[in-house]
Structures are given as structure tokens and as C-alpha cells.
Structure 1
């Protein structure tokens, strides 16, 4: 236990003494090491906004993507990315519950993907592939969460895992230990030792990851056309060739011009406004067979709505202020595949109704189905999309401050 305490102390010191740019690199890191609740809680400060989403977080290719755009060292806030592909509302509910008590500004952003809201929803295998049992245990161990909410999360977790064999049994063992308090003394002691060693492993992995954030790492991941000045600040030349300024010092209008120029350079081969690399890999010579295939599709009935409500209930219970972001579909592609326009609009309206019923803030971007370069492919935020998201997020951060 002394070794674990020592490693934890060293990790605390490493995080505390990160340079601003190194810290930004770690905030936007989506590696396994970053999934540690212990590390996430260390990175959350009064100036850090918890930013939850799915594959759009790791789909980095635009200079306007937060993982690149906000790495300028000049802004007065941080975004802490949590999530990756196939992570949806319930896993984020677990993340949030595990972090309750460690969110100084009591704010969170959740990016909603329309593709989450299908009737088929997540298969047990898909959920198991993203389920973080360490996060689940951190939720159960969190004294800030009441037992009613812990049991509600546990019931839903078992339902999503289905008959996932060993993983489901591991979850049941945690339930017996923390919820039912009927684990044998030997099991309880064994698990506490196991938890301690897992914490040691997590801390070791995190420290190893931190070794990557050195001066050399600052040469990577620069926005297109960007450079770093003597202070490590990313600078971009605004449209018109003016003197380079820190990226976040650009006006929204200039950011949109920058985004349009970059989008135009990356979309030259198709009429769906899909970036050339994605089109070549996934669509060229293949998409014709998909014409009209979604004529009966709908996003109106899905278990995801109950999972989203669970997330919002947790926010209300623990006084966390959420910002929901409603992302549009690619209008050109959805028209081609036959997904009904009325059904798409009904989905957007349902999200608006949920936000209104829960009295939470919504950044509604649904009007941008046909905005060129808003998405980078058939589903992920792109050049202009991120500018609109960042504008809304910056306002959310600074309101009432």
C-alpha cells in the first residue's frame, strides 16, 4: 500500500507541474491510460470543462477540431475529452457518476449523435467492448452517489451486458461487494488487494503516457498552416494574410472562413461533401447499392432515450449543469439513402422536447444538414461543424462567470 501511495503522490506531482501545452495534450488524449477515473479527476479544475462524446472526439483531421484548435496555450479554459467510438449515453452516465464530487465547475457537455438512437441499439458485444469496469467500480465506491442511483445504474448495466459471461459475473461480484454487502470476508479482502494493484497499474500506465508529453511532442498535431511561437503558442494566419494570431483569438467569422477554405481543399471528388480520403476508402464504387436503403429508417424509438434521461437525472440530482449538443445528419447522404426528411425533423424535435422538459441547455445545430463542410463525412463533425460547436461551448463556459 505504501508503494501505491508513493506512485499516486508522484503522479499528482507530475500532473500538477505539466506545462500548459502538455496539459492540453493530455486533456485531448483518448488512450487507455486516459480512461482512468483517478486521472480524469486530477485533470478536472475550475477552468476545465468535461466534454463527453463518441467517435467524433477521435476523428481528428481538421484544424478546427478542439484537439488541435485549442492546443494554442492561449485560451483561459480546458476541455477534458471523455469518450470514443461506440460510447453512448449510458457509459457516460457511469463516467459522470464516478466523477461526481470531482467536477469543480459542475458543468458537462454531451455531444448527441443521431446514430445512437436506433431501435436495435447496442448489442451486448458492442457495449462490452467499450464498458470500463474500473469506471463502474469507481461509481460504486463514490460516496457522493446515493444507493438508489447506484442500483439504477447497476440494473441498466446488466441489461446492456446481457449474457456477457465473465464480464457480467465480474459486475455481479462488485454489486455483491458494494451494494449487497454480502461478499465473503475472503472475497472482500482479495478484491481490495486487487483494486489496489489495479490502481498501481493505472498510475504506472498514466505516468508512462505522460512521458510522451515532452518538448518533442509539441512538434506534432499542429493545425494546418499553424506554427508555434517562442512560448509554445499555436498561431494561425487569419484569412487575408494578416499577422498570425493565437488560434482562439480569431473571430468566429474568420474561423468559418478558415474552415470553408480547408473544407474545399479536402472535398473534391463527390457531391456528398464527404472528405476525399473517407470517400475513397468507404464509398467510391460502393455507395450506389445503398440508394434508398433507409426509406423505412427512424430514430424516434430507441432504448437510448431512457439512457439519455438517466444521464440527465444524474445531472439534476447532483446539480451538474449539462449542455446537450444536437448534431445533424448529412442531408445529401441521408436523402440518397432515402431516410425520410420528416423522420429526421421529428428526431431533432424530440431532442428539443427532452431538453425543454429537463430544463437543460441545448446547442441545436440541426439546421445545418445542408451546410457544406459542416460534417467531414456521413456522420462526424467537420471543419465548420466544430466552429459552431466551439462557439456554443465557449459561451457555455463563460456564462454566469
Structure 2
């Protein structure tokens, strides 16, 4: 019987071992630069690219072409003629956005994603979009976090965890997200302020080596075609030379053509697909929303901690809300303004003073494409601030991090005083 089983399963076991050995022995090659492939990755907006280490490292380390990480959420998928990727391509900017965002991704996802590109962030610049809507009672949705989570990110982080306040907080948040039972023992040690053992580190290194080789092996299989289908063609619509007046007029024209079906200034397609059928139910639906008390403030602090550690000069962009829609749904704009003030206080008191605050622009015509995302005129205002930040000399920031922002008192505070 044992001989028969060996004959049946032996070749399978040998094949599996061979595959694992092949992956482990294959060299990690992140240095092959192909500009077209890097552009495809930078604009792919797929979960696979979002989680892939090799693709991000390859583009962000390309010395011939300057890719800049643009951290955010679902706003990057609004690829109209005035999208930052289209404008950067159309006007041959000295940089190209590498879009790092997905629907439902927030600061905790971004923090662990940063673990894959710390070298590429060191002494560089970045853009980080913050949406006040992230700061809900329970913070990031665990299902969204697990969908975008890559175990290699956590293992890389564990290799460098020292038991600091930030490390303990991050470990507790990962445990709360229940991402992987195989990591829980290590996470509990860090959460308790303990160091990992030599055996722990040995296992982590071996597992990480396998995952990184696997990441490299499959890196070029899911690049998507946004660059060739949604970015390049739209550059033909732009004025040949950058002209703010002409661009704003063109934005008004396009926006007027695409907002004929509703009184909110929302893109017609979005309105018909996402709003119209349940419009009555949505009246007053946001009266009880509160963004002032949330673990998201602690998660944001993790991202800030990482930027400080890598000496990254960051432009933070605060998105507005569509004020006509806010009035219809009953969103408390005083609460919203207090939320923005709290976010900005957390940034500025620690030296993060480059802030493009568009929170008061939600009532401007054609600034918003839908209920919570910029478009048309909004993208142009965004681009003006971002382009200036990335193409003119900037002073080197001095960061002074404060552990109080991981505390319950701050996360539950309803004012900045």
C-alpha cells in the first residue's frame, strides 16, 4: 500500500518541491527598467499591482524616469481628460504619477504597502490624498483591508519592528483585522512590547524570501491597459500648450455636457448607475455621520511615522465633498469642518506643513465629479498645486513625531483644543 501511494503521490511531491526550489533559487530582478511597462503599472489601478512589490520598486527606482507615488483611494479611477496622469503625460512633466489607491483602501493599507518601498521613499517626494470620509467610527473596513493585504508587507514590517509605540499600535491593528493566523503569535509579541526571537526572525526571513521571489516571478502578468486606453488617448483633447484659462474653459464645457441629468452637478453616468434609483432613500441619510472619532487618526499616524522615518517630503491633499449632495443627505458641515481642522492639526504639529486643502471647494461649479470625488475643475486645481510642489525647489521638512496621536484621547477627541 505504501509503495502504491508513493508511486501515486511521489511525482506530485517531487514536482511541488521542484517548483518551490525553482522559485527560491530564481534571482529577484527589480532592475530591468521598461518605461512603457512602468507606465502601464503606474496607471493599472488593479489590486494585483497595488500589492506587488516588484512593479512598484522597479518604477520608483527608475533613474531615467521620475515616478512619484500618489497615495489615495478610489479617486484615481476617475480618469477624465484632466486627471493628473493625463496632464502629466500630455504636458511632458518631469514626473509621472504612480497611482497607489483602490476603493476602500485607507491609511492602514497604505502604511503596510509602504513597507515594500521604503528605499524608494527615502529622501523623495510623494502625494497623499486624505478623504474625511475615511474617519468613520470603526475606521477601515476589515474586508477591504484583507483584500488588499499582502503577507509579505507584514513580514517585512516584522523584520524591523522594535516594540515602539507605533509598532505596538500597528500590531494591534493587524490583529484586529484578523489577516493571518500564522502571524498572530508574532503580532501578539510585538503588541505586548516584546522582541521576536532569533527563531522567529529565521522563519520570517525564509517565508519572506519565498514570497518575494513569487512576487517577482508573476510581476508582469497583470499590468492592465489604462495607460494605452484611458491616459494616452485623452492627451489629444488638451490644448497643445498648457494654458490655465483654456483648460478651465474646456473643463467647464466637458462638465456641462456630462451633468445634465441632475441638480447636484454629478456626472450623468454615475448618477444614473449609483444614485437615481435610490434618490428618495438617500435624503437625510447622512445626518448621523461623524468623522471626529475614529481609529483612522491612529492609522494616519502610522503613515506619517513612515514618512518621517524615510524623510519623505509629502504634499497632503484634503478632498472636499459635494455640498449640494451634502445638503440633500443632511451631512453636518460643521462636523466636517471640525474633522478637517483635526486632520490638519495632526499634520502641522508634527511638521507636515505641505497641505492642499480643498475642503471648502465643494460648492464650486464643476469642481466635483460625483458626491465625494473631484473632477474637471477640481482636477485642474489639484494639478496646479501638485505640479508646483513637484517641480519647484522645496525646503527639507523637519518632522517631530508625537506618540499621543496613537492614543484613545486623541482618536476620540471632538476638537483640537
Is 1:206 the counterpart of 2:219 in the alignment? yes
Preserved contact between residue 137 and residue 294 of structure 2 (Cα < 8 Å): yes
Matched residue, 2:42? 27
Preserved contact between residue 127 and residue 160 of structure 1 (Cα < 8 Å): no
Matched residue, 1:229? none
The counterpart of 1:221, out of the listed 230, 237, 240, is: 230
The counterpart of 2:107, out of the listed 69, 84, 89, is: 89
When the two structures are aligned, how many residues end up with a matched partner? 366
Report the TM-score when normalising by structure 1: 0.80
The structure having more radius of gyration, on CA atoms, is 2
- Partners of 1:30 and 1:146 lie apart in 2 by 33
Map 1:1-400 to 2 at 5 A.
6=26, 8-9=28-29, 12-13=31-32, 16=33, 18-19=34-35, 21-31=36-46, 32-45=48-61, 47-57=66-76, 59-72=77-90, 74-141=92-159, 148=164, 151-152=167-168, 154-161=170-177, 164=178, 167-172=179-184, 175=187, 180-182=195-197, 188=202, 192-209=205-222, 219-222=228-231, 226=234, 234-238=235-239, 245=240, 249-360=241-352, 361-400=354-393
Distance change (3 Å), C-alpha of 1:138 and 1:81: farther
- Partners of 2:255 and 2:168 lie apart in 1 by 44
- Partners of 2:188 and 2:138 lie apart in 1 by 31
Q: Partner of 1:197: helix, strand, or coil?
A: helix
Report the TM-score when normalising by structure 2: 0.78
Distance change (3 Å), C-alpha of 1:219 and 1:158: closer
Preserved contact between residue 111 and residue 326 of structure 1 (Cα < 8 Å): yes
Structure 2 residue ranges without an equivalent (≥5): 1-20, 395-417
Distance change (3 Å), C-alpha of 1:299 and 1:177: closer
Distance change (3 Å), C-alpha of 1:180 and 1:349: closer
Distance change (3 Å), C-alpha of 1:149 and 1:251: farther
Preserved contact between residue 298 and residue 343 of structure 1 (Cα < 8 Å): yes
RMSD (Å) for aligned C-alpha atoms: 3.0
Structure 1 residue ranges without an equivalent (≥5): 227-233, 239-244
Residue 353 of structure 1, CA deviation = 2.2
Residue 95 of structure 1, CA deviation = 2.3
Preserved contact between residue 269 and residue 276 of structure 1 (Cα < 8 Å): yes
Q: Partner of 1:81: helix, strand, or coil?
A: strand
Q: Partner of 2:378: helix, strand, or coil?
A: helix
Residue 104 of structure 1, CA deviation = 4.9
